Amino acid sequence: MASHLDLEEQEQLDQLKAFWKTWGNLITWALTIALAAYAGWNGWNYYQRDQAAKAAAMYDELDRAVQAGDADKAGRVFTDLKDRYPSTSYAAQAALQAAKAQFDKGQADAARASLSWAAGTASQEAVRDVARLRLAGLQLDAKQYDEAGKTLDAIKSPDFLALQADRRGDLLVLQAKPDLARAEYQKAYAALEKNQDYRRLVEAKLSTLGVAPAAEDTAVAGAAK
């Protein structure tokens, strides 16, 4: 009986050896890859959390500088933040904050540089478009009309259609193209909600070009009745 069991066990052992010889390396590699992927995932999550925490601390420092009106320090912290943690949302927000502080202190070149970085590098499309709108405004101030047009062309989100059209109208006014400017302002006016304060600003711009959109709205409403 014992001999029979020994033979059966030996047969099973031989089968196991044959199986391992055929599939052992593949199983080993599969387990190694799975464990490495798991370790890598945990490591990446830790790395991301660590990066975000460090970026957040630097952003707090920048925010304090902005609140204190220290544009130079805000610019230095932003430069450090974007160099170390460029892919974080804190870097993008820091660019907008630094640009505002720089502009308020008359550092237009530095403000344009900060916004240019955000417009081209920020991880969130909405932040990139906000930066583009602000950058276009500063480019208009600097009479960089071709650059402002290209900046506005880069805005693709429909959420910014009204503001994009309004800013393009400003550009066309400065280029002495009132008919084209009027069309852009009308596009902006139509895209804005009636209760938005900004709509009244666009209405004022249209009025300077000989258009009274409020009167047009009233006429349309009367015709509908």
Asked if residue 164 is part of any domain, the answer here is yes
Provide the domain limits for residue 126: 51-154
* Residue 221 pLDDT > 60: no
What is the structure's pLDDT at 196? 87
What is the structure's pLDDT at 213? 77
Asked if residue 115 is part of any domain, the answer here is yes
Together in a domain, 180 and 132: no
Mean pLDDT to the nearest integer, 123-136: 92
pLDDT band at 77 (very low <50, low <70, confident <90, very high): very high
Together in a domain, 143 and 86: yes
Mean pLDDT to the nearest integer, 168-182: 95
Q: Which CATH number goes with the domain that contains 170?
A: 1.20.58
* Residue 210 pLDDT > 60: yes
What is the structure's pLDDT at 13? 66
Domain boundary among 100, 131, 154: 154
Together in a domain, 112 and 201: no
* Residue 145 pLDDT > 90: yes
- CA distances to 152, 196, 198, 218 from 206, in Å: 20, 16, 13, 16
Domain boundary among 154, 170, 201: 154
Domain boundary among 130, 154, 178: 154
Contact 205, 187 (CB under 8 A): no
Q: What percent of the chain clears pLDDT 70, i.e. is strictly above it?
A: 73
pLDDT band at 53 (very low <50, low <70, confident <90, very high): confident
Mean pLDDT to the nearest integer, 120-148: 93
What is the structure's pLDDT at 29? 65
What is the structure's pLDDT at 129? 94
Domain total of the chain: 2
> Can you tell me the distance from the alpha carbon of 55 to that of 100, in angstroms, rounded to the nearest whole number?
19
Together in a domain, 86 and 174: no
Closest to 101 in 3D by CA, of 63, 132, 128, 55? 63
Alpha helices in 68-160 (DSSP H): 71-84, 89-104, 108-121, 125-141, 145-153
- CA distances to 1, 10, 13, 14, 180 from 5, in Å: 6, 8, 12, 14, 96
More confident residue, 38 or 100: 100
The whole-chain average pLDDT of the chain stands at: 83
Four-residue CA torsion sign, 193, 194, 197, 199: positive
- Name which of 26-30, 71-75, 162-166, 215-219 the model is least confident about: 215-219
